Structures are given as C-alpha cells and as structure tokens.
C-alpha cells in the first residue's frame, strides 16, 4: 500500500510536469506565444492586446523584435506545412508554393496586417477551437468542400 501511494504521487508529479511542458510548448508555437517570448510579456497580455486590435507583428515591432518575430513565425508555419504534407492534406508542391508566398509577403510586412499572409492560399494557420477544418485549398478563401474526418 505504501508503494502504491508513492507510485500515485510520482505519476501525479510527472503528469503535472508533462501538462506544464505541453502548455509551454503550445504557447511557444502560436503567434501569441512567439510574441510573448520575444517581448517579455505574458501570453495573456499579448492576447489582450491582440483582442484590442493590435497585431502580433505590431506588438513585436514596438519591442524592436519584428525581424525575430517574422523569422520564428515563418519557421513555425513551415513546421505546420510539413505536418499537413505528412498528414496528406497538402502535396509537397502545394506546401512549397504556400511557403514561397509567405516568404515573399514577409518581405513587405510592416506589422500593419496589410499583407494578409497566407490568406490568398486558403491557409490561415489558425490555432482556434477546431472550427473550419474544411479542405480550404479551393479558391483561396477556404470555401472548399468540408471533409469530415
């Protein structure tokens, strides 16, 4: 019985650390998490600023970290594209085209959200609540036929 309690305690600690690590990893892979890491603000502060209408790029730009934000965001989008290819949701050619388009758009990015990176390709890279998981590759606006998976 004593060993059982120890096992439960260790499992609980490992579980809490695992959840904390996973939450940190998820936060670091979102635009809010990237901006928070670069600016020293919390993800909650960044999210509140974004909800008030300030773009993530503008938040990073105010901290003098726009170039770093763009680089880390581009890296994260590449990871997402690679995963979508691996999952069979995109061909490698489609992913390469989207990635090239994002890189081109980032050259003109001035943190005002006018470039609308990825929207013409039907790729929002959202980290939302699971809404709109349709095919999205048809007319660039994500209005393609939904596929229930």
Identify whether 12 is part of a domain: yes
**Calpha distance 89→57 (Å, rounded):** 28
Identify whether 145 is part of a domain: no
A 10 A CB-CB count for 81 gives 23
Whether the predicted pLDDT of 143 surpasses 90:
no
Identify whether 128 is part of a domain: no
Q: What is the pLDDT of residue 5?
A: 58
Identify whether 86 is part of a domain: yes
- For the chain, the domain total comes to 1
Tokens of 126: 């959202």
Whether the predicted pLDDT of 20 surpasses 70:
no
74-111 per-position pLDDT tens digit: 999 999 999 999 999 999 999 999 999 999 888 888 77
Identify whether 52 is part of a domain: yes
Domain that holds residue 94: 2-121
List, as one string, the DSSP characters of 46-79: HHHHHHTT--HHHHHHHTT-HHHHHHHHHHHHHH
Whether the predicted pLDDT of 22 surpasses 70:
no
Identify whether 127 is part of a domain: no
Whether the predicted pLDDT of 121 surpasses 80:
no
Distances (CA, A) of 125 to 5, 21, 47, 51: 44, 22, 16, 18
List, as one string, the DSSP characters of 76-123: HHHHHHHHHHHTTSS-HHHHHHHHHHHHHHHHT--SSS-S-TTGGGT-
Identify whether 73 is part of a domain: yes
Split at pLDDT 50, 70, 90, the class of 149 is very low
**Calpha distance 38→63 (Å, rounded):** 8
Q: What is the pLDDT of residue 19?
A: 39
Please indicate whether residue 90 or residue 148 has the higher confidence score (pLDDT).
90
Identify whether 95 is part of a domain: yes
**Percent of the chain's residues with pLDDT above 70:** 56
Q: What is the mean pLDDT of residues 30-46?
A: 93
Whether this model's pTM surpasses 0.85: no
């Amino acid at each position: 019985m004593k060993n059982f309690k120890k096992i439960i305690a260790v499992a609980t600690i490992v579980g809490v650390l695992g959840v904390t690590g996973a939450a940190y990893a998820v936060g670091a892979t979102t635009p809010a998490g990237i901006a928070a890491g670069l600016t020293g603000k919390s993800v909650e502060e960044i999210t509140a600023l974004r909800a008030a209408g300030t773009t993530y790029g503008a938040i990073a730009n105010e901290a003098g970290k726009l170039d770093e934000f763009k680089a880390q965001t581009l890296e994260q989008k590449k990871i997402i594209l690679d995963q979508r290819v691996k999952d069979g949701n995109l061909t490698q050619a489609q992913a390469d085209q989207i990635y090239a388009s994002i890189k081109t758009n980032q050259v003109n990015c001035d943190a005002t959200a006018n470039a609308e990176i990825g929207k013409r390709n039907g790729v929002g890279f959202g980290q939302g609540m699971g809404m709109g998981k349709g095919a999205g590759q048809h007319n660039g606006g994500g209005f393609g036929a939904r596929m229930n998976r």
